[in-house]
Copies of this chain bind each other. A is one copy, B any other.
Amino acid sequence: MQEDIMEKLDKHDLRKTIIRKDVLKIFVQAEGKALSSKDIEQALENPDRITLYRTLRSFEEKGLIHQAVDGSGTSKYALCSEDCTVHEHQDDHAHFHCTKCEQTICLETGPRSPVNVPEGYIVRRSYLVLEGLCRRCANP
């Protein structure tokens, strides 16, 4: 697992610094859950906030994590699938956002049917957010 993390950093051309190993470990452990900068701040001891922001940006640029749009207003990130690279992300899945516990998770949904847009518009990508109650919050 430690090896897993080192490999990932290597593969994505990121220097192996303490904070990067720590942050990446948290993402791996989160298992499909999207995390905010604050989530990570709380999980770690005392990370420098600015360094954390830059770590997240580097991870995203290098194809290690992807942003999870969830309509909550703050940025959240989750681990990418194996085949994301610095050149292209492959995270075209929907995200579920629980309005009670505020958790956001990546969904393994299949391809979506295309949507009609006005003549002349070019669609590059799309985000689908499902909002509601997660299992835990729905069945208390």
Contacts and interface: CB of A to CB of B under 8 A. Distances in A.
The count of identical subunits is 2
Contacts of A132: 121-125
Interface stretch (A6-14, A33-41, A111-119): A111-119
B121 A133 contact: yes
Nearest to A107: B117
Contact of A128 (B75, B96, B127, B135): B127
Interface residues of A, number: 35
A115 B107 contact: yes
A135 B123 CA distance: 11
Interface of A: 69, 71, 73, 75, 94, 96, 99, 107, 109-110, 112-113, 115-135, 138-139
The 5 A-B pairs at the shortest CB distance, nearest first, are namely A120-B135, A124-B132, A127-B129, A123-B132, A69-B71
